[in-house]
Amino acid sequence: YEAASSEQNEHKATLNKTNELLLHLEAEKETLQRNSKKREEEEEEQWITFQTQYDNALKDKQQSEVAFHDKEQGLLQLQHDKEKIMELKTNKETEEQMAQWQ
């Protein structure tokens, strides 16, 4: 009887240890799931931040390209106007010289 009782006590002790281990593992599993969820949320936030910054940089680039194009067109117009003015000045000087020769 004592051997059976001793064996039963060993089984109870083993069962208790197994239950404790299961509780510990369950708690560990929950912790890992929480950490995994938190990491996923952080990665999602980082992705959103990256996407926003990328979109803003792309918008800035496009605005810069438009501004550059506008300035380039302005410079071309100035160059054209300068050439016209020089042409008119040359024509006027030629007319004045011809008037002096007559």
Tens-binned pLDDT, residue by residue, of the chain (102 aa): 677 788 888 999 999 999 999 999 999 999 999 999 999 999 999 999 999 999 999 999 999 999 999 999 999 999 999 999 999 999 999 998 888 887
Residue carrying structure tokens 């800035």: 60
Angle, CA of 95, 99 and 102, to the nearest 5°: 140
- The reported pLDDT for the residue numbered 101 is 82
**pTM of the predicted model over 0.75:** no
SS3 content of the chain, % helix, strand, coil (to 5): 100, 0, 0
User: CA-CA distance, 29 to 21, in Å (whole number)?
Assistant: 12
